[in-house]
């Protein structure tokens, strides 16, 4: 059993996927890398077929099933003691993995988040404002004190992930992971991580409408059984 399963949903990331995998492969921990090509149409699938690492698994979706759908596919294939989700761009630095693993091993946390705000968030202004507002809303409704609910880096044991009964197929899976952990009484720790935001021109996919959906799902998960 590898120590860490890295799940990478990838949709039209031909410009970054190879460099990202090189970075992950260079992290000196026992790991497996699971890439879900989520119906890419820009050649991402061809690049993935040309990359051969002993610890690399590539799963191809014929059509785009959403980020959540890709994560669920990755979880079904994961065999590591711990699982982390990694976006296929270069916004997050895989060299932070050991810090996150140390945090979950040395605390009673069931989930460790890699927070972008502790070191000074440098993302787009509207994203920064929106993230802070939604995080505060989540904190208010769930009586928590999170700093960055929407971070990509969410590290938990594989058993924890599979016990969350995740169903979200879109970006709402980010909210669902957090809310289900809170409702199950799991402690959540946050660790500062590096963050290198990209612009829409560079391929950023999250939009303002996703923020509105996040608010909807926070209320849904808060008041559903």
What confidence score (pLDDT) does residue 157 get? Answer: 98
What confidence score (pLDDT) does residue 202 get? Answer: 53
Q: Are strands 82-85 and 4-10 parallel, antiparallel or unpaired?
A: parallel
Q: Domain count of the chain? A: 1
What confidence score (pLDDT) does residue 225 get? Answer: 72
pTM of the model: 0.91
Residue 215 φ then ψ, to 5°: -60, -45
Largest Cα–Cα separation, the chain: 47
Q: Which region among 27-36, 123-132, 156-165, 191-200 has the lowest average model confidence (pLDDT)?
A: 123-132
pLDDT at 7 over 60: yes
Beta strand extents in 11-97 (DSSP E only): 31-38, 56-61, 82-85
pLDDT at 86 over 60: yes
Q: Which region among 29-43, 125-139, 164-178 has the lowest average model confidence (pLDDT)?
A: 125-139
- 154-157, strands of its sheet edge to edge: 56-61, 31-38, 4-10, 82-85, 154-157, 111-115, 188-192
Other C-beta atoms lying within 10 Å of the C-beta of residue 121: 17
- Residue of 159, 222, 144, 133 whose CA lies nearest to 189: 144
Q: Are 195 and 123 in contact (CB under 8 A)?
A: yes
CA-CA-CA-CA torsion sign (171, 176, 182, 187): negative
Other C-beta atoms lying within 10 Å of the C-beta of residue 70: 28
d(CA 74, CA 206): 21
Q: For 31-81, write each residue's pLDDT tens digit.
A: 999 999 999 999 999 999 999 999 999 999 999 999 999 999 999 999 999
CATH value at residue 114: 3.90.550.10
Average pLDDT over residues 155-178: 95
Q: Are strands 111-115 and 154-157 parallel, antiparallel or unpaired?
A: antiparallel
Q: For 133-164, write each residue's pLDDT tens digit.
A: 999 999 999 999 999 998 999 999 999 999 99
d(CA 133, CA 147): 11
- Residue of 209, 202, 207, 208 whose CA lies nearest to 13: 202
Q: Work out the mean pLDDT of the chain and round it to a whole number.
A: 91
Boundaries of domain holding 89: 4-223
d(CA 57, CA 48): 10
What confidence score (pLDDT) does residue 224 get? Answer: 85
């Amino acid at each position: 059993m590898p120590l860490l399963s890295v799940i990478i949903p990838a949709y039209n990331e031909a410009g970054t996927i190879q460099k990202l995998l090189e970075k992950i492969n260079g992290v000196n921990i026992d790991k497996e890398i699971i890439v879900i090509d989520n119906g890419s149409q820009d050649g991402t699938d061809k690049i993935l077929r040309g990359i051969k690492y002993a610890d690399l698994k590539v799963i191809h979706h014929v059509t785009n099933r959403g980020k959540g759908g890709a994560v669920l596919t990755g979880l079904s294939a994961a065999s590591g003691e711990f699982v982390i989700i990694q976006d296929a761009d270069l916004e997050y630095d895989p060299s932070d993995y050991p810090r996150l693993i140390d945090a979950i091993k040395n605390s009673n946390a069931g989930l460790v988040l890699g927070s972008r705000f502790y070191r000074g968030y440098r993302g787009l202004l509207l994203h920064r404002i929106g993230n802070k507002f939604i995080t505060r809303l989540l904190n208010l409704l769930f009586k928590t004190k999170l700093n960055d609910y929407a971070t990509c880096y969410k590290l938990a044991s594989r058993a924890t992930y599979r016990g969350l009964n995740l169903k979200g197929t879109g970006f709402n899976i980010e909210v669902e992971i957090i809310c289900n952990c809170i409702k199950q009484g799991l402690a959540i720790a946050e660790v500062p991580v590096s963050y290198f935001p990209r612009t829409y021109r560079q391929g950023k996919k999250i939009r303002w409408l996703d923020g509105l959906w996040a608010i909807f799902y926070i209320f849904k998960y808060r008041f559903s059984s």
